[in-house]
Structure 1
Amino acid sequence: MTNGWNDNLPIYLQVKERVVGMMLDGILKAGDALPSVRQVAAEYQLNPITVSRAYQELVDDNLVEKRRGIGMYVTEGASEKLLASERERFVRDEWPAMVERIRRLGLDLDVLLRAAQPGSAA
């Protein structure tokens, strides 16, 4: 997790999103332990309650499980569940605005696909 907090979003949600990002990127896999609340709080100079709230949201979303006395662990299937929900959110919330922008700019699919190729200049 890198530092640099966004003032427009509560810190606990940003901590949660960073953990979600680590799951989606494969950094945290099913069965992996999350860093301890104390460790994260100390490293990022956060209140432990803030980190605990982020972790509790992950538990509430069934992405992480508490193992009493030993910590928090990524649940089986968490990455797949996250990927499915993020894809759905993208298609519902972000894609329509992109399609509108593409239409306004008069871009076509061939131009966009060529621009997406590694090493190509847009």
Structure 2
Amino acid sequence: MHSWNDHAPIYQQLADQLAAQLLDGDPHEGEAMPSVRALASRYVINPLTVSRALQALVDGGLLESRRGMGMYVRGGARERLLRSERDQFLQDEWPRLRAKLRRLGLSANDLNWEDA
């Protein structure tokens, strides 16, 4: 079971999680998303909340609704998402992270990019 927080509406948290999965290529462009029912069961949330999350991804140009067939990942969705995530990181997260590294006295030589 997934644990939700109070920082954003649940539908937005789900949309963010599904977008992260799309960024990882799951599902691939052109492939169907799991059904509303399947997602509601997986995340133990109301199907209306799932529908709202999927609609947010449609509004963001990542998914398309095919009448009677469900939601599908749009072509180019991963690249659009990657560009958007990179821009957000560089504008919002990187300046804070860089400032924290400076406060801690850490430099690029102290960071190991290979360990995960």
TM value normalised by structure 2? 0.91
In 1, the alpha carbon distance for the partners of 2:114 and 2:47 equals: 44
* RMSD of aligned residue pairs (Cα, Å): 1.5
Q: Which amino acid aligns with 1:61?
A: G
Query: Does residue 105 of structure 2 align to residue 106 of structure 1?
Result: yes
Q: How many residues align?
A: 116
CA deviation after TM superposition for structure 1 residue 81, in Å: 0.3
Match of 2:43 in 1: 44
Quick one: structure 1 residues 105 and 43, their matched pair in 2 at CA, closer, same or farther if it must change by over 3 Å? closer
- How many Å separate the matches in 1 of 2:105 and 2:41? 50
Q: What secondary structure does 1:7 align onto?
A: coil
Q: 1: distance between equivalents of 2:70 and 2:55?
A: 12
* Structure 1: runs of 5 or more not aligned: none
Higher normalized contact order (CA 8 Å, seq sep 6+, divided by chain length): 2
Deviation at 1:37, TM superposition (A): 0.8
Match of 1:95 in 2: 94
Structure 2 residue runs without a partner (length 5+): none
- Runs of 4 or more, structure 1, over 6 Å off, are none
TM-superposed CA distance for 1:102, in Å, is: 1.2
Check if 1:117 corresponds to 2:114: yes
> Offset of 1:87 from its aligned partner?
0.2
1:3 has 2:2 as partner: yes
SS of the residue corresponding to residue 65 of structure 2 reads strand
Identity %: 49
**CA offset at residue 50 of structure 1?**
0.6
